[in-house]
Structure 1
């Protein structure tokens, strides 16, 4: 008899394997620089738009990464399309953010993945209609925006030095209600939960506040990592994660909607680290935005499960 957990485990295994097999592949080396953010949830600027409270922090961080030559990997749920279906309002509400994202795109330093809240990006016609051009309200003219953008479900980074692979997905691939049954979840968010969201009430089907659900998703990820010996970076649960000691190489970016804090994963100089950008107040009462390293940096090779001596039997999340 197959248990409910067994079914979910098989579902996650199949979905992650499918994502890996059809992933966009990019090679990188010690000179490559990547910043991974996910779950930004840019909305229409209304009271229920959680991104607005961290918009300045996000802009400051993204400016830093642009000026320092990083490639920006947006690992799903960048735009909140389930609660705010008209993307025009989102673009207008966060125009400076999109101006900066366009700079990454124009420099060929933007890789955009879709998640369950921006699953519409899976449709090329939707992307062309909403992302290829934008409208300048001052000049009353359309202009090229992210023309030619091709969002993907998954990305594999292949380290030239060792051949080690890193799979990046949003993470809903381990969460059936937000993947296999996403249509029904979308309806509940669009017509019910988004109105309660403005009052701080969360959808109980989401893994964000559902600890049991979140841990099951992560446990299923762990099974796939152990089986395939591939490092995994994702988001979705909003819980940042960086492996300790010989834990399985599962990394989670966290999100950009914590109060006053955004978190992300950096890869630079052949090393990986978990970082936090936070709005703080100094002794003079002046607000500042500072970056802290939460875990790492550590060499990518430290997370290569193919190497002899990796304790695969005792590795956990």
Structure 2
């Protein structure tokens, strides 16, 4: 099978899964999933600060639309900053959390960077290690993702010391697993194999890389290029120009993704597997250089959304493959990256999931 059953990360995830209570996924509710805010004190070392204006406006818009909010770990950056400083600097954020908690709903999952909240006194929000939702006999399993690595579960105090007393004084940014291609891929591979074997739809954060149906950005771009190439011969001459423009734009995007990752993603795509099960999703991060991403679940569908501030980047305004929509007159735009029905996804998980038939161990 894909992951050895005696592997400690599989055993740990299995224990978390079985210890997590199950709620029904309410078809009348709309769910919003953000992760990895890494909120600090608002100063130079605060990774959240550059996108904070955009995030707070976007979060308020979701509240007004009555979304239930799921925060999937690493919200407060407690490995670098005291909780009280974070509360004092980001009061507007916590007021919004109060409004979600007292209104449409709030679920707050812990990550490795805010694990100290478990021991915090008088913390105002209920904390979860994971969530399980039942949908038509199938399940969504939501957890941060650090549980796949023993070092993040057992050595957090050492990481805390290094970040607070070495990285902070030297103004070193908080990169960790999200900027290590090998660590990121290891995390994703372990979650993918666990979810496939258990026939679950898992949603993580942690790696900061948005994933949809187990596909990374480069995988998605390749599949879209292939789809457009198949479509091209059947397209009228008038529409072929648009298809050509889309393919050209996608090729540029793919080149940029692979260059940024030094080709590691290309060599280690999950599509090296015999069959890829659409069992793994990642909401991405709020601290991206070109914006932030989230997942929306509503009306029996799941959707990957990208938000960006036109004052900081205009990349998607010029894209031939996306049609951004502005949030009021804020200069903040949203783009629908991918969308699919839960029924179709769970059908594929049910039929394709289970032990890996390739016989390859992790």
Structure 1-normalised TM-score? 0.81
Per the TM alignment, residue 73 of structure 1 is displaced from its structure 2 partner at its CA by 0.3
Which of residues 327, 348, 352 in structure 2 aligns to 1:310?
352
Equivalences for 1:45-64 in 2 at 5 Å? 45-64=42-61
Unaligned 5+ segments in structure 1 are 132-145
**Cα distance, 1:314–1:32 mapped onto 2, change above 3 Å:** farther
For 1:8 and 1:84, the matched residues in 2 are separated by: 38
**Cα distance, 1:117–1:199 mapped onto 2, change above 3 Å:** closer
Which of residues 275, 281, 291 in structure 1 aligns to 2:334?
291
Structure (1 or 2) with the greater helix fraction: 2
Contact 1:28 1:158 in 2 (8 A): yes
SS at match of 1:208: helix
Which of residues 86, 89, 95 in structure 1 aligns to 2:91?
95
Which of residues 23, 28, 33 in structure 1 aligns to 2:30?
33
Equivalences for 1:59-78 in 2 at 5 Å? 59-78=56-75
Is 1:239–2:282 an aligned residue pair? no
Match of 1:143 in 2: none
Match of 1:15 in 2: 12
The two structures, once aligned, show a CA RMSD in angstroms of 2.7
Match of 2:245 in 1: none
Contact 2:35 2:74 in 1 (8 A): yes
Contact 1:122 1:152 in 2 (8 A): no
For 2:65 and 2:346, the matched residues in 1 are separated by: 27
User: Hey, which bits of structure 1, 4+ residues long, moved more than 4 A?
Assistant: 5-9, 305-308, 311-315
For 1:7 and 1:47, the matched residues in 2 are separated by: 44
Match of 1:248 in 2: 278
For 2:357 and 2:57, the matched residues in 1 are separated by: 40
Unaligned 5+ segments in structure 2 are 216-222, 224-275, 318-328
Match of 1:186 in 2: 160
Per the TM alignment, residue 308 of structure 1 is displaced from its structure 2 partner at its CA by 5.8
Contact 2:199 2:353 in 1 (8 A): no
Structure (1 or 2) with the greater strand fraction: 1
Per the TM alignment, residue 6 of structure 1 is displaced from its structure 2 partner at its CA by 7.5
Per the TM alignment, residue 195 of structure 1 is displaced from its structure 2 partner at its CA by 2.8
1:211-235 deviation line (CA, Å, top 9, x unaligned): 0111111111111012110110010
Per the TM alignment, residue 208 of structure 1 is displaced from its structure 2 partner at its CA by 1.0
SS at match of 1:73: strand
Per the TM alignment, residue 307 of structure 1 is displaced from its structure 2 partner at its CA by 6.4
1:40-89 deviation line (CA, Å, top 9, x unaligned): 0111111000111111111111111101110000000111111002x111
Match of 1:137 in 2: none
Match of 1:174 in 2: 148
Per the TM alignment, residue 174 of structure 1 is displaced from its structure 2 partner at its CA by 0.9
SS at match of 2:159: helix
Per the TM alignment, residue 23 of structure 1 is displaced from its structure 2 partner at its CA by 1.6
**Cα distance, 1:16–1:295 mapped onto 2, change above 3 Å:** same
Number of residue pairs aligned between Structure 1 and Structure 2: 282
Per the TM alignment, residue 247 of structure 1 is displaced from its structure 2 partner at its CA by 3.5
SS at match of 2:42: coil
1:163-182 deviation line (CA, Å, top 9, x unaligned): 21000001100122211222
Match of 2:287 in 1: 257
Per the TM alignment, residue 279 of structure 1 is displaced from its structure 2 partner at its CA by 0.3
For 2:121 and 2:353, the matched residues in 1 are separated by: 44
Per the TM alignment, residue 291 of structure 1 is displaced from its structure 2 partner at its CA by 1.1
Is 1:300–2:296 an aligned residue pair? no
